Amino acid sequence: MSKPRKPKGRPVSGWLILDKPLDFGSTEAVSKIKWLFKAQKAGHAGTLDPLASGMLPIALGDATKTVPYVMDGRKIYEFTVAWGEERTTDDLEGEVARSSAERPTEEAIRALLPKYTGVISQVPPQFSAIKIDGERAYDLARDGEAVEIPAREVEVFRLSLIGCTPHLAHFEIECGKGTYVRSLARDMGRDLGCFGHIASLRRTFVAPFGEDDMVALADLVALEKVEDEAERLAALDDFLIETGQALSGLPHIAVSDDQAHRLKMGNPIILRGREAPLPTPEAYATARGKLVAIGEVAEGEFRPKRVFATS
């Protein structure tokens, strides 16, 4: 009987909040970070198109278990809409599908914003990662197939006009999971009777991470020049954010070393005292500031669902 293969790479864990540059795909960025850190596992929390820049949270090692919590977080984008053309991809990459000589006034744009605030119905772009009968929409679109993508509800918490010229409008949006800014530009252009597409898009926030957490790819790549591997990896690890920071929106329980050991073995612990949290389907436990487990609080116990060997 053959022995199980030992995972390649280091069991390093944590979040790297990359400031993704333009013309660099999200999958490509994750591969680069995984290689730089020599990590066993890596994944990201929310795709950014190659023509979009900004925050791409990348999870290494055990932090990949917390990706869904970051995926569900609020996001903030700054974006520019170019009026006069609707494009097949709803951004600069696509071909012109429709055009107009009309241009909207600032007053008309501002009057439209309430329609796109709150819970709205939105049809994702033809070139998107939405699955249609098991196929990615962008693969079907590249093959020349026109597919009908069903509308879905998304939530926009805030949509602000920052400034505009006759041909361009600059916005900032705070939105929930699954919102396509490209669809927003397309739909606003249609409502204004002038058509529109995304000319620039930058993500500046993915809850709970902010702009101050972002790291430029150039700063990481520069460390490739450090010949001593231990020194190089230590310098890279300094950019990582503790895995538990991704769970700051959940109730928190601080536990002792003995309790942490029980949790890591998959056993529940009894919660006592005034500081014991109320029953909740999800909470996270830390010991000495390190993430130990995610679980539920019920009947005076914390019951682990996911445990973290390293953090």
CB atoms within 10 A of CB 133: 6
Burial of 62 (C-beta count, 10 Å sphere; 0-12/13-18/19+): buried
Q: What is the helix (H) or strand (E) element at residue 296, kind and residue range?
A: strand 290-298
Cα dist from 161 to 81, 83, 113, 165, 170, whole Å: 11, 14, 8, 12, 6
Q: What is the pLDDT of residues 235-289, one digit of tens each?
A: 999 999 999 999 999 999 999 999 999 999 999 999 987 767 889 999 999 999 8
Q: Check pLDDT > 70 for residue 32.
A: yes
- 105 by DSSP, 3-state: which? coil
Active site residues: 49
Looking at every residue in the chain, the average pLDDT score rounds to 91
How many Cα atoms sit within 13 Å of 110 on the Cβ side?
6
Strand 131-132 versus strand 135-136 pairing type: antiparallel
User: Which of 30-44, 108-122, 266-280 has the least mean pLDDT?
Assistant: 266-280
Quick one: pLDDT at residue 311? 47
Q: What is the helix (H) or strand (E) element at residue 197, kind and residue range?
A: strand 196-206
Query: What is the C-alpha to C-alpha distance for residues 285 and 291, in angstroms, rounded to an integer?
Result: 6
Q: Check pLDDT > 70 for residue 139.
A: no
